[in-house]
Structure 1
Amino acid sequence: MIRSSSAFLLALLLSSAAMATPRWGTEAHDRLAAAPGAPATPVAITLDACGGAFDASLIQTLVDLRVPATIFVTKKWLDHNPAGTAVLLAHPDLFELEDHGTSHMPAVIGKDRRIYGIPAAPDAAHVEAEVAGAAQAIRTLTGRAPVYFRGATAIYDAQSLQIIRAMGYQVAGFSVNADAGATLPEADIAARLRAVRPGDIVIAHMNKPAGATAEAFAATLPQLLARGYRFVTLSGARLQPV
């Protein structure tokens, strides 16, 4: 009976793990391609603004240290954070806005599908609208069309990737997940940032000020700068899948 109960518990745990794993697509991973003749490949910081609030402390750290970042914004975040948006727009030399979707819907098609608990796009038309709505909002604010798209959860299926690319956008992956959706403690985020290497594309979040992302960046970025790291936005960069 004990063996039977143990087997049942193991099967339940394995089943739960499988259910928690996205089965409907793949996560996009990229690094910066080395530029011919460049002394060292830089690092790109990318910050997602999915929904929620504005992490003013994180952005102020970047401003104070003169560290540029590519900000992936949803239209939903822009609509609810006009003051935060104004701060980003006030520093065009540091921050560029790119497309994170209209309502933070994953770029995976299927009415019955959920990625990390978020409902997927019911059909192709919803994927197109998810990309186009945020793109138009960015054009209205900045006068420039976004080049990159990063979908909610960074999980994509083949059909959605085809749609996004046909619309003229490049999917932006990453190589270092710094804060796991702003859920990690400061020490863990700082450790991941200290392990960054030239060519890495870092993903973190600027929409959860209650998290520890701002504190970890404030503690770690000066160390990386002291080690000679150079930071760039994705504008003009060439991404290399990994």
Structure 2
Amino acid sequence: MLIPKCVLRLKRPFFASLCGRGRIPAIIAAAALTLGMVTQSGVRAQSGDDIHMPSFGDSRLLSACFSPSALKGQRGEIKPVKGVRTFDATTAARTLAAHSPIPAGLSGAIRRVNVRNGAKLIALTLDLCEQTGEIAGYDGPIIDYLRENRIKATLFTGGKWMRSHELRIQQLMADPLFEIGNHGEAHRNLRLLSPRALGAEIEGPQRAYEAAREGFAKEQCVGNVPGGLSTVPPRMGLFRFPFGACNAQSLNAVNAAGLLAIQWDISTGDPDPNTSAKAIVNTVMRKVKPGSIIIGHANGRGHHTAAALSQLIPKLRAQGYKFVTVSELLAAGTPEIVPTCYDSRPGDTDRYDRLPFQKRATTATARPAAGAGAADR
């Protein structure tokens, strides 16, 4: 891991002034700090453009802890199961990894990246969300295909999804192909939440991720790998709004929590069962350009996504596109940032305010974990 010297000197997140105009993109400094990966020990730095983002996972760690059969998706995992409340309780309160708020210059909703020198880099993102009263799916065919073809992706996971899929999230965080991001506790519309519920929806997944990582660290196989979990970030540094919907209050809260808000400029439309694999392929091929961020789903609600990716990825590769994680994409250029969240045009995600089950959850939080203090109830 190579970190710029100016990042190592940072005491407060005034990235642009400390790093100097023209030396490195401020987004690199922000990403390194939000991931909690900048330390004074074990870090080498170089000047200029020879900059490498922190890695995510380690192939040695993955193979030491999980057999090929354990990694492979299993029949019955894909379809969501309704009427299950086993994992509704939030992860117990814990001291979270240190972070700094996102600086003003990087606050807002990031839709895509203007890549330096026109490099044909794109980011595939997949959401794995889960609401209360259910267990959402794990779309093994999608993840298996990405692994077989060495395709990098960024996976935005819900706190509740991580609790109900603890082994899967540990596999994903160990895999160097994948970056893990925060997708809200239980996929609530953050535009509608009270300040207290809003905070719980943002912090819940951070707790779940760090608890899963802590549990993983105790496994004997981890101790057999040089460096252990050193390549697995101690915290998530990216956030995706449920429904892609936000307002000024929720966007500010996410950035204050040290999370970069990641939207997209290309939607597969895969939550709609009437969207065919062919339609997904045609949409992406028509809209893709260097720096694009593509959204799909891998929680059992991405209809025809696996079939579409098996057609789409070879086409994109043939055109010279390379798949990178969101943090790698951000490090390769300048993000396009807007002051609000939307799908294809401003205001189009406001319609989710009218969903009946979202209105009932306006001030609700997930059930507190057993033994949680009054502040968590």
- TM superposition score normalised by structure 2: 0.50
1:162 to 245, 248, 252: 252
Cα RMSD of the aligned pairs, angstroms, is 2.1
Residues 130-209 of structure 1 correspond to what in structure 2 (within 5 A)?
Answer: 130-140=201-211, 141=213, 142-181=232-271, 183=273, 184-195=275-286, 196-208=288-300
2:155 to 47, 68, 71: 71
User: Residues 185, 79 of structure 1: CA spacing in aligned structure 2 closer, same or farther, 3 A cutoff?
Assistant: same
2:122 to 43, 48, 73: 43
User: Residues 104, 210 of structure 1: CA spacing in aligned structure 2 closer, same or farther, 3 A cutoff?
Assistant: closer
Q: Is the 8 A contact 2:237 2:260 kept in 1?
A: yes
Q: Is the 8 A contact 1:28 1:156 kept in 2?
A: no
Which whole-Å CA distance do the structure 1 matches of 2:157 and 2:272 have between them?
15
User: Residues 210, 227 of structure 1: CA spacing in aligned structure 2 closer, same or farther, 3 A cutoff?
Assistant: closer
Unaligned runs of 5+ in 1: 1-26, 110-120
Which whole-Å CA distance do the structure 2 matches of 1:58 and 1:160 have between them?
31
Q: Is the 8 A contact 1:31 1:239 kept in 2?
A: yes
Unaligned runs of 5+ in 2: 1-107, 131-135, 214-231, 339-377
Residues 5-154 of structure 1 correspond to what in structure 2 (within 5 A)?
Answer: 28=109, 30-35=111-116, 38=117, 40-51=119-130, 52-91=136-175, 93-109=176-192, 121=193, 123-140=194-211, 141=213, 142-154=232-244
> Which residue identity lines up with residue 130 of structure 1 in the other structure?
E
Which whole-Å CA distance do the structure 2 matches of 1:98 and 1:206 have between them?
14
Shift in Å, 1:178: 1.1
Which whole-Å CA distance do the structure 2 matches of 1:78 and 1:182 have between them?
24
User: Residues 182, 78 of structure 1: CA spacing in aligned structure 2 closer, same or farther, 3 A cutoff?
Assistant: farther
1:87-122 C-alpha deviation (Å, 9 max, x unpaired): 42341x10011000111112213xxxxxxxxxxx2x
Find the residue that maps to 1:108 and give its secondary structure: helix
User: Residues 29, 234 of structure 1: CA spacing in aligned structure 2 closer, same or farther, 3 A cutoff?
Assistant: closer
- TM superposition score normalised by structure 1: 0.76
Shift in Å, 1:208: 1.3
Which whole-Å CA distance do the structure 2 matches of 1:220 and 1:209 have between them?
19
> Structure 1 stretch 181-190 or stretch 225-234: which is displaced more?
181-190
Find the residue that maps to 1:33 and give its secondary structure: strand
Which whole-Å CA distance do the structure 1 matches of 2:197 and 2:304 have between them?
33
- Structure with more contact order per residue of length (Cα contacts < 8 Å, sep ≥ 6): 1
1:239 to 332, 335, 343: 335
Find the residue that maps to 1:79 and give its secondary structure: helix
Correspondence for 1:9: none
Paired residues, number: 201
> Structure 1 stretch 153-162 or stretch 38-47: which is displaced more?
38-47
Q: Is the 8 A contact 1:182 1:208 kept in 2?
A: no
Shift in Å, 1:86: 4.0
User: Between Structure 1 and Structure 2, which shows a larger proportion of strand residues?
Assistant: 1
User: Residues 83, 218 of structure 1: CA spacing in aligned structure 2 closer, same or farther, 3 A cutoff?
Assistant: farther
> Structure 1 stretch 192-201 or stretch 128-137: which is displaced more?
192-201
1:130-154 C-alpha deviation (Å, 9 max, x unpaired): 1111012223325521111112101
Q: Is the 8 A contact 2:154 2:178 kept in 1?
A: yes
Shift in Å, 1:172: 0.5
Which whole-Å CA distance do the structure 1 matches of 2:325 and 2:335 have between them?
12
> Structure 1 stretch 77-86 or stretch 226-235: which is displaced more?
77-86
Find the residue that maps to 2:264 and give its secondary structure: coil
Give the percent of matched residue pairs that are identical in Structure 1 and Structure 2: 29
1:149-198 C-alpha deviation (Å, 9 max, x unpaired): 11210100111111111222111010000134253221111112222221
User: Residues 220, 130 of structure 1: CA spacing in aligned structure 2 closer, same or farther, 3 A cutoff?
Assistant: same
